[in-house]
Amino acid sequence: MEEQVALIEHACAVFENPSNQAAHQEASATLLAFRNSAAPIGVCQHVLQSSSSEQAKFQKQLTGTVAVLLKRGWVDESPEERHAFFSEVESTVAGTSDAAARRTGIEILEAVVSEFAPSTASPLGLAWEQHDRCRKSLQQHYLHTFYQHAATIAGETAQAATQGQDQGVCSACLSLMAAVLTWDFRPGNGHAAYLGTRPASDSLQVQPGPSWRGLLLGPDSCPWLHPLLAHLHNQPDSVLAQRARQLVVSLRAT
């Protein structure tokens, strides 16, 4: 298993720096095999726990690479295959008491949101039409579920988070929720001009539609959020407090 960990670590590093085409193709093949393994999320968690690299940097590399590989195969995969992947992520997050595994699953979902959003997407050498098809598909079929899933887990872990006992799960959920809320829900092909760049500050960002109203504005929408902020009033500079405030700002903007 240690050999597998080292192999995936190396492949992630090479995949991010494609100056050597042959090495990049070899790394891509290694990571595709990892992506298509029977339980990639479980393998991902094991790799992160066993990695000899600096943890935060490698975790970002690995989750980002999973998102890139998912996007590369998005058009060719069936809806059932996509659903199976996300079902595994969600079951890992919801069905385990392992906080590190839950956090990893949430961070993979956020990496997917970032990779599929045109303003933060990697070019990947793909045609614009493929980027746009991926964006539309994620927006129509998955974003709502991602947000709802993160909100549920955040509510379950908020109290433990105030005591530093959730290993960052709640904070990861807040970050995912904010990422979903900053998604530009513009229909059509309006993103082509700024693929990989953030929209100008004066551009109009389209908010979620009516189907989101109950989730975002209903009486049971994030009842834990303001109590969480109240608990964190003595820790205003903590990552958890900053993410909670950002989520409040994003919710008010919807």
Residue type, 3: E
Contact residues for 113 (Cβ-Cβ < 8 A; gap 6+): 138, 143, 146, 176, 179, 180, 183
CA distance 86 to 105: 9
Contact residues for 192 (Cβ-Cβ < 8 A; gap 6+): 118, 128, 132
pLDDT bucket at 201, cuts 50 / 70 / 90: very low
Whether 44 and 108 have beta carbons less than 8 Å apart is answered as yes
Whether 132 and 199 have beta carbons less than 8 Å apart is answered as no
pLDDT bucket at 202, cuts 50 / 70 / 90: very low
pLDDT tens figures, 106-137: 999 999 999 999 888 887 777 888 889 999 99
Write down the pTM of the prediction. 0.81
pLDDT value of position 7: 76
**Size of the chain in residues:** 254
Q: Per-domain residue ranges for the chain? A: 1-128, 142-188+204-254
pLDDT bucket at 1, cuts 50 / 70 / 90: low
Average the pLDDT over 74-93 and give the result.
84
pLDDT of 50 higher than 80: no
